[in-house]
Chains A and B, each alone.
Chain A
Amino acid sequence: MPRGMRIRAIVIQGLSILLLCALVELCAGNVFEGMKESLTMALPGLIVMVPPLLDLRGNINGALASRLGTALHTGVIEPKLSMSAELKVNLASSLILSFLASATIGIFSFAASALLGVKTIGVISLVLVAIIAGVISGIILAVLTVAVAVFSYMRGWDPDNVTAPLMATIGDLVTMLCIFLAVLLVG
């Protein structure tokens, strides 16, 4: 393919997704802020934990999306929605990472709050909220990530241009809802 064409494809695919995400971000930004405020009001200590949990979610799915993009390009994963061994490894490691890293964040948040004298709920509830929110949102988003990557590849789009940005935007919303759910379950 000539070089100019490739650049054009990247820009067209990337730009359409980016504009969509930017608009969602702009509109949802205030809603997110509102949700964050009410979350942190609900349970003291959550204020410290929400940003890292959101980041973690984006990072784990971003890495998963990035690996899937590579795997589809190199032919390691076939562009169809069936469970191959490679796909299983990728999904399993994402979920294990969600569990381990969420638990770590729970513990770190408690330690940081204690250190700085921020009032917080017990360490066990904090870790429980982190793990429940992390794992539930992890499962939902991992499935979506695979679907978006495979579908975009099947339609002739480069999953590298589409998956990570789309999942980062959807991810924030899903994770926030899952934190709400976890708070309801634990609190």
Chain B
Amino acid sequence: MTVYRIKQILLESYPVLVLCATVSLAAGFLLDASTAEIRRLPLILMMVPPINGINNNICSILGARLASALHMGTVEPRFKRQRVLSGNIHASWLMSMGVFWFMGAIFFAIAYMSGLGFGSSLMWMFGFFFASMIAIAVTMLCTVVLAFVSFARGLDPDNVVIPVVTSIGDISGVACLLIMVKIIGV
């Protein structure tokens, strides 16, 4: 008898995957409508793949780590007094800072070279940075809650967390970018 069983993996994963695919399908239709606004701004369009990609990657790492930790018993599904959990969140947060500052600097360079002034290039850089930090904070919170809830309910977080969190990550990334555009006001 193996620890993993095909039937269990299928039963846990299939509904989640179909749900996420449906969200993605709907998002595809919606994106066509809402990106008309983004398409006018090539710089924002360029920001969408990295913000979503990094967001999803950091939260996938966090999700995978939490799932392993829950299975090994080094993290328990509660929030208070969890040293391993806070270490993980701390590490994810540091990674986000590092990678988003790096990407922000790249976008600053691109904006500046494409002929925007120094001030507005700087504004785009900070805009990108703050949009991505808010997006990642939301997605990280969802990751932890989802890992705990699925584990507490007897599901394998390995099967559930990454698919759902990447769907949430895509939405929060684009939403935060759109809000940033509204605030900066182009």
Binary per-residue interface labels of chain A (42-66) against chain B in the complex, 1 for a CB within 8 Å, 0 otherwise: 0000011011100110111011011
Which residue among B3, B83, B92 has the maximum number of chain A CB atoms within 10 Å of its CB?
Answer: B3
* B166 located at the interface, meaning its Cβ lies under 8 Å from any Cβ of chain A in the complex: yes
Q: A7-B87, A101-B18, A160-B68 are in contact. Are A52 and B6 (CB under 8 A)?
A: no
Let me know if A93 and B68 touch, CB within 8 A.
Answer: no
Find chain A residues with CB under 8 A from B54 CB: 18, 21-22, 25
Whether the pair A56, B61 counts as a contact (CB closer than 8 A) is: no
| Interface residues of chain A: helix, strand, loop or mixed (majority) | helix
A-B contact count (CB 8 A): 209
In which size bucket is the chain B interface? 35 or more
Residue A143 lies at the interface, judged by CB distance under 8 Å to chain B: no
Docked CA distance A91–B3 (Å): 14
A75 CB to nearest chain B CB (Å): 10
Question: Does chain A have a CB within 8 A of B17?
Answer: yes
Once A66-B63, A90-B4 are accepted as A-B contacts, the answer to whether A21 and B57 lie under 8 Å apart by CB is yes
Given contacts A67-B4, A158-B65, A169-B53, A18 and B58 within 8 Å (CB-CB): yes
The digit string for A74-118, where 1 denotes a CB below 8 A from any CB of B, is 101000000001100110110011001100110011001000100
Question: Using a CB–CB distance below 8 Å, which chain B residues touch chain A?
Answer: 2-6, 9-10, 13-14, 16-18, 20-22, 24-25, 27-29, 46, 49-50, 53-54, 56-58, 60-61, 63-65, 67-68, 71-72, 83, 87-88, 90-92, 94-95, 98-99, 102-103, 106, 156-159, 161-163, 166-167, 170
